[in-house]
Amino acid sequence: MAQIDLRRKLSVLADAAKYDASCASSGSSKRDSTGGKGMGSTEGMGICHAYTPDGRCVSLLKILLTNFCIYDCAYCINRVSSNVERARFSVQEVVDLTLNFYKRNYIEGLFLSSGIIRSGDYTMEQLVLVAKTLREVHDFRGYIHLKLIPEADPKLVEAAGLYADRLSANIELPRDEALARLAPQKDVSVIKKAMGQVRLKVEEARPQKREKARPPRFAPGGQSTQLIIGADGAPDTEILDRSASLYGGYGLRRVYYSAFSPIPDASSSLPLAKPPLMREHRLYQADWLMRFYGFSAPEIGEAATGGMLDLAVDPKLAWALNRREQFPVDVNLAPREMLLRVPGLGVKSVDKIVSVRRYRTLRLEDVARLTRSLDKVRPFITTLDWTPGGLTDAADLRARVAPVAEPQQLSLF
């Protein structure tokens, strides 16, 4: 095949990587390049250097090493039977691109994934080699996220954790049966075993209180995974159960939800439609409730209909409308856990309320200054000067607090 020029390759291999929803460059250990020979820093908090018109942030150079792949996963544009244009970067090309972009402050680092070529081991070796070159030859201290090839030798997974800030292996389909059908070369238990290995290694690398010697670092940014939504018929409740099980089992930092979106050269085994973006949004909200608000997956599922989250209202509001007997909550007295269940109050607002009420008894206008959405909060709280009366139990409460649906543009045909 003729050598295609580097910009063309970049275009092909960035395009091929864009279906991976992960973009974070946060949560790693804090470090900078003072005293070093190279460049790069992470300050714990991630930085998004640009946003594309799909609303997603560009934080890392997210590319594939190659989009050649010996797997035939129906949902993937890079599957072996796809007619998509193929390209492959050399290790050096990825290293140079990363450094060139980083120096100009375009990115926080590299997110490197790959189609599987030759074997899992060979592919993983190539990914590790890129990270190793960046770290050891160029003393690069920016963020590196490597995709795990679950089939690869556990030793390679270990090496990856040595150089990378974050590792991820995508579960892709919430239903294991569907994975067997749509990705016949993948084995869900191999993916889970790799995630289990990462969890054990991350825990090993956490310094024990008594030990003085620091264990070698291993993926300080933890691990994440992705579930594709809308390709296998799994309802939301099943997806959230799966996430809860992944968070608990492997200590994942994030589960990403990626609405299955049309791909060029699609397989005939999957229906093409515009991606259900609102559904994806509701799943992220529900996931947030599990991670920061003390909700369990079954609790969120209580308000679901036929296993599906309400698209018109967010899952916390849906839960509250379903459990009105829990409300109203007295913002001046209620425990933090209960305040976290009030629709419209976020973790930050709740923390502010808890802190302020040590000095002042809150009125409704005080709450208004601590939250962005008083209309949503009002029916569910009491303050010094406010009680919702019958509003909490009003039959039309849902209509009052639910945002009015945006008018749909009628088709011209």
Partner 1 sequence: MRTATLASETDFDGWRKAARAFRLEGIEPAQARFVVEGAGAQSGLFDHSPPAPPREGGDPAPPQDKARDRLGPRLRGDEREEGFSVSKAFVDVARDVVLHRSGDRWDLLYRLLWRLRDEPDLMKVVSDRDVADALERAKNVSRAGHKMKAFVRFRQVEDEGGEAWVAWFEPAHRVVERTAPFFQRRFPNMRWSILTPDGSAFWDTHELRLGPPATRDMAPAEDEIEEFWKTYYASTFNPARLKVKTMQGEMAKRYWKNLPEASLIPELVAASTVRTDVMVATPATEPNVRLARATAPVIERAADDLVASTLPELGEGVQGCRRCPLWRDATQGVCGEGPREARLMIVGEQPGDQEDLAGKPFVGPAGRVLDAALEEAGIDRSDVYVTNAVKHFKHEPRGKRRLHKTPDAGEVTACRWWLDQERGLVKPKVVLALGATAGLAVFGRKPAVTKERGQLVALADGATGMLTVHPSYLLRLPDEQARVLEREKFMQDLRQVRHSL
Closest C-alpha to 380, from 332, 331, 314, 336? 331
- Classify burial at 312, counting beta carbons within 10 Å of its beta carbon; exposed 0-12, middle 13-18, buried 19 or more: middle
**Site residues for partner 1, window 26-65 (CB under 8 A)?**
32-41, 43, 47-58, 61-63
Smallest gap from Cβ 394 to partner 1, in A, equals 27
Q: Is residue 92 near partner 1 by the rule CB under 8 A?
A: no
Long-range contacts of 197-200 (CB under 8 A, 24+ apart): 197/154, 197/157, 198/148, 198/157, 198/161, 198/167, 198/169, 198/223, 198/250, 199/223, 199/249, 199/250, 199/251
Smallest gap from Cβ 185 to partner 1, in A, equals 4
Closest C-alpha to 344, from 359, 358, 327? 327
- Apex CA 22: angle with CA 281 and CA 40, to 5°? 135
Measured from the CB atom, the residue of 71 and 386 that comes closer to partner 1 is 71
Smallest gap from Cβ 150 to partner 1, in A, equals 12
Q: Is residue 93 near partner 1 by the rule CB under 8 A?
A: no
Measured from the CB atom, the residue of 69 and 397 that comes closer to partner 1 is 69
Q: Which two tokens stand for residue 195?
A: 């995630």
Residues 84 and 401: their CA atoms lie apart, in Å, by 47
Of 2, 7, 213, 214, the residue at the interface with partner 1 (CB under 8 A) is 7
Tell me which stretch binds partner 1 (CB under 8 A): 165-173, 180-188, 208-216, 404-412: 180-188
Smallest gap from Cβ 391 to partner 1, in A, equals 23
Within 10 A of 292 (CB to CB), how many other CB atoms are there? Answer: 11
Q: Is residue 10 near partner 1 by the rule CB under 8 A?
A: yes
User: Which residues, 6+ apart, have CB-to-CB distance to 401 below 8 Å?
Assistant: 313, 317, 321, 343, 375, 376, 379
Measured from the CB atom, the residue of 289 and 321 that comes closer to partner 1 is 289
Smallest gap from Cβ 63 to partner 1, in A, equals 8
Residues 145 and 31: their CA atoms lie apart, in Å, by 16
String of contacts with partner 1 for each residue 292-331, x by CB under 8 A:
----xx----------------------------------
**Site residues for partner 1, window 338-397 (CB under 8 A)?**
352, 355-356, 358-360, 362, 366-367, 369-370
Tell me which stretch binds partner 1 (CB under 8 A): 15-23, 164-172, 387-395, 396-404: 15-23
Q: Is residue 186 near partner 1 by the rule CB under 8 A?
A: yes
Q: Is residue 267 near partner 1 by the rule CB under 8 A?
A: yes
Q: Is residue 245 near partner 1 by the rule CB under 8 A?
A: yes
Concatenated DSSP letters for 118-169? S-HHHHHHHHHHHHHIIIIIT---SEEEEE--TTS-HHHHHHHHHH-SEEE-
Measured from the CB atom, the residue of 354 and 394 that comes closer to partner 1 is 354
String of contacts with partner 1 for each residue 188-207, x by CB under 8 A:
-x--xx-xxx-xx-------
Of 29, 92, 103, 389, the residue at the interface with partner 1 (CB under 8 A) is 103
Q: Is residue 155 near partner 1 by the rule CB under 8 A?
A: no
- Classify burial at 49, counting beta carbons within 10 Å of its beta carbon; exposed 0-12, middle 13-18, buried 19 or more: middle
Please, what's the largest Cα pairwise distance for the chain?
76
**Site residues for partner 1, window 200-239 (CB under 8 A)?**
200
Measured from the CB atom, the residue of 298 and 389 that comes closer to partner 1 is 298
Measured from the CB atom, the residue of 189 and 387 that comes closer to partner 1 is 189
- Classify burial at 272, counting beta carbons within 10 Å of its beta carbon; exposed 0-12, middle 13-18, buried 19 or more: exposed
Q: Is residue 140 near partner 1 by the rule CB under 8 A?
A: no
Smallest gap from Cβ 202 to partner 1, in A, equals 11
Measured from the CB atom, the residue of 232 and 366 that comes closer to partner 1 is 366
Tell me which stretch binds partner 1 (CB under 8 A): 100-108, 154-162, 204-212, 225-233: 100-108
Per the CB < 8 A criterion, the answer to whether 144 and 165 are in contact is yes
56-70 as b/e, with b when 16 or more CB fall inside 10 Å? eeebbbbbbbbbbbe
Q: How far is CA 256 from CA 6, 169, 283, 287, 393, in A?
A: 30, 11, 9, 9, 36
Smallest gap from Cβ 232 to partner 1, in A, equals 14
Number of residues interacting with partner 1: please give it, by CB under 8 A.
98
Query: Amino acid letter at 293?
Result: Y
Of 154, 207, 215, 262, the residue at the interface with partner 1 (CB under 8 A) is 262
